[in-house]
């Protein structure tokens, strides 16, 4: 290259505007940092909002200050898709009701109607718990008197027991079977103060398993000490329902067509046979005056009512409470202060034989296949007809209500949640975190490439200056 051509090229290059490599690289790095910070902030905001959505379930997390404590919702809905479990955070706290059946959200492809719904004591916050097989609420899944704990069958045939699910702290405690050789253990009744639980055990009577023995035991929850109340050959109705008196010193339970009354030490007090188409009323069977309530069918009608008997079975007549018509049967949950009886009414399937008086045994009148839905009713003294306290969707087939809610006598207007449940929101939050991590990683790679490019530009610039100096 001639000297003159070299000088011409230098003059032309000097007239070309310099590209601000360093300044552009710095601006790109700053813009990348700002975008990364914005993306991380957006993810953090979304994650912060997720617990709010989970906590609310469409309703306030806490009841208003003037709500007056636990209350019965006037209606219940079905668990949402992705509903939180009983042990998930945020904790539910005491519950008002638990329910089960064959409706959406209570059954699945493999759990055989084994999911129960749980509703908070003071607000429409829903949770679920899966037993894994059909376990009707109020019969095999029992809410503690204060609504804090749920007793459900747990374990396996080799190691049966009761799972005590604490709805306040989210813990689950296994209460092992008190009967050696038992293959199934189920809760049968809570003591009024929640300190003890009556459990039913089924034990094979021979190696072939063609016969079984039923055992009823009272288990102290603090020590695990068990008192055997009764053991007998397997019967269609055994130990259900179990009713404690208000003092917690006596309990009554139905065995076949008899009612037995014992002390908490297992000592028998009395027993008496049941009239036809009658049964021990339910967990609220003890009246405040120490007499017992039976559920009884009026012959020739479709009405069911409560009747009073003493502990020897002597008929004391029907209290001045309205009868319930058009149901398979009723079950007594307890008594309000004004003498109103709170009962579960089982409305029959239209084609069920329960529609025909006397067609079913007592233990079949609450079976899922014979029930369309349930209602909770109030039977007030002197009233002409029952008052509906709670309604449920079709195929909600069983329910239990905490004693605290029954005694309180309050009913609140309910608005069951709808839309995705809390676990859906948590999944969305996890997905947002993952997406945010991917975006952050991509931005970080871009920043590193920009830094490497900036470093390479500095090297190139220095080398060019060195060459121009040599050329000069």
Tell me: the pLDDT tens digits for 251-293?
999 999 999 999 999 999 999 999 999 999 999 999 999 999 9
Is there a single domain that holds both residue 19 and residue 164? no
HSE, side-chain direction, 13 A CA sphere, residue 432: 18
Is there a single domain that holds both residue 429 and residue 416? no
Contact between 383 and 323 under an 8 Å Cβ cutoff? The reply is no
pLDDT value of residue 361: 82
Q: Residue 52 pLDDT more than 50?
A: no
Helix and strand counts by DSSP (H, E) for the chain: 4, 27
Is there a single domain that holds both residue 225 and residue 168? yes
Distance CA 332, CA 376 (A): 10
Q: Residue 32 pLDDT more than 60?
A: no
* Mean pLDDT over each residue of the chain, to the nearest integer: 85
Contact between 82 and 422 under an 8 Å Cβ cutoff? The reply is yes
Q: Residue 313 pLDDT more than 60?
A: yes
Contact between 450 and 110 under an 8 Å Cβ cutoff? The reply is no
Backbone angles phi, psi at 349, to 5 degrees: -65, 140
Q: Residue 134 pLDDT more than 80?
A: yes
Query: Helix 21-56 crosses helix 422-471 at what angle (to 10 degrees)?
Result: 170
Is there a single domain that holds both residue 83 and residue 129? yes
* Count of all residues that appear for the chain in the document: 472
* 3-class secondary structure, 145: coil
Distance CA 146, CA 143 (A): 8
Distance CA 113, CA 321 (A): 34
Q: What is the dihedral of CA 399, 402, 406, 409, to 10 degrees?
A: -110
Is there a single domain that holds both residue 42 and residue 78? no
**What confidence tier does 45 reach under pLDDT thresholds 50, 70, 90?**
very low
Q: Residue 433 pLDDT more than 90?
A: no
Q: For the ranges 83-97, 109-123, 303-317, which has the lowest average pLDDT?
A: 109-123
State the residue range of the domain holding 44. Answer: 3-51+425-471
Q: For the ranges 114-128, 412-426, 441-455, which has the lowest average pLDDT?
A: 441-455
Distance CA 167, CA 189 (A): 18
pLDDT value of residue 352: 78
List pLDDT tens digits, range 146-194.
999 999 999 898 999 999 999 999 999 999 999 999 999 999 999 999 9
Domain count, the chain: 2
pLDDT value of residue 234: 86
Is there a single domain that holds both residue 373 and residue 439? no
Q: Residue 466 pLDDT more than 60?
A: no
Distance CA 344, CA 377 (A): 6
Q: For the ranges 217-221, 333-337, 429-433, which has the lowest average pLDDT?
A: 429-433
Is there a single domain that holds both residue 33 and residue 99? no
Distance CA 255, CA 282 (A): 13
List pLDDT tens digits, range 196-209.
999 999 999 998 88
Distance of CA 351 to the CA centre of its chain: 31
């Amino acid at each position: 290259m001639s000297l003159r051509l070299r000088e011409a090229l230098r003059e032309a290059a000097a007239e070309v505007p310099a590209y601000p490599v360093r300044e552009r690289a710095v601006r790109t790095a700053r813009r990348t940092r700002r975008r990364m910070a914005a993306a991380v902030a957006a993810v953090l905001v979304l994650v912060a909002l997720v617990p709010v959505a989970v906590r609310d379930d469409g309703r306030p997390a806490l009841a208003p200050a003037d709500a007056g404590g636990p209350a019965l919702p006037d209606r219940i809905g079905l668990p949402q898709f992705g509903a939180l479990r009983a042990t998930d955070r945020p904790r539910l706290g005491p519950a008002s009701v638990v329910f089960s059946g064959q409706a959406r959200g209570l059954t699945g492809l493999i759990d055989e109607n084994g999911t129960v719904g749980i509703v908070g004591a003071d607000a429409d916050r829903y949770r679920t718990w899966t037993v894994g097989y059909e376990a009707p609420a109020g019969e095999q899944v029992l809410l503690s008197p204060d609504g804090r704990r749920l007793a459900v069958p747990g374990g396996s045939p080799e190691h049966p027991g009761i799972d005590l699910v604490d709805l306040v702290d989210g813990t689950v405690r296994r209460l092992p079977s008190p009967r050696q050789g038992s293959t199934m253990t189920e809760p049968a009744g809570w003591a009024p103060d929640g300190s003890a639980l009556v459990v039913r055990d089924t034990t094979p009577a021979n190696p072939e398993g063609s016969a079984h023995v039923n055992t009823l035991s009272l288990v102290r929850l603090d020590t695990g000490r068990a008192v055997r109340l009764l053991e007998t050959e397997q019967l269609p109705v055994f130990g259900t329902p179990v009713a404690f008196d208000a003092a917690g010193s006596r309990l009554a339970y139905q065995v076949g067509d008899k009612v037995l009354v014992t002390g908490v030490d297992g000592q028998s007090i009395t027993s008496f046979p049941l009239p036809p188409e009658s049964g021990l009323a339910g967990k609220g069977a003890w009246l405040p005056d120490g007499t017992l309530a039976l559920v009884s069918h009026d012959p020739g009608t479709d009405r069911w009512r409560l009747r009073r008997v003493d502990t020897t079975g002597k008929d004391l007549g029907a209290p001045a409470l309205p009868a319930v018509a058009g149901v398979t049967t009723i079950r007594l949950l307890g008594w309000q202060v004004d003498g109103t009886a709170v009962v579960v009414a089982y409305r029959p399937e239209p084609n069920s034989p329960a529609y025909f008086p006397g067609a079913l045994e007592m233990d079949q009148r609450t079976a899922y296949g014979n029930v369309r839905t349930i209602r909770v009713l109030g039977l007030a003294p002197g009233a002409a007809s029952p008052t509906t306290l709670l309604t449920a969707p079709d195929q909600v087939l069983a329910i239990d209500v905490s004693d605290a809610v029954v005694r309180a006598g309050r009913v609140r207007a309910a608005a069951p949640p709808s839309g995705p449940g809390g676990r859906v929101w948590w999944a969305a939050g996890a997905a947002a975190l993952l997406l945010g991590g991917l975006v952050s990683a991509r931005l970080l790679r871009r920043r590193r490439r920009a830094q490497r490019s900036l470093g390479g530009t500095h090297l190139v610039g220095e080398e060019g200056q060195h060459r121009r100096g040599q050329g000069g």
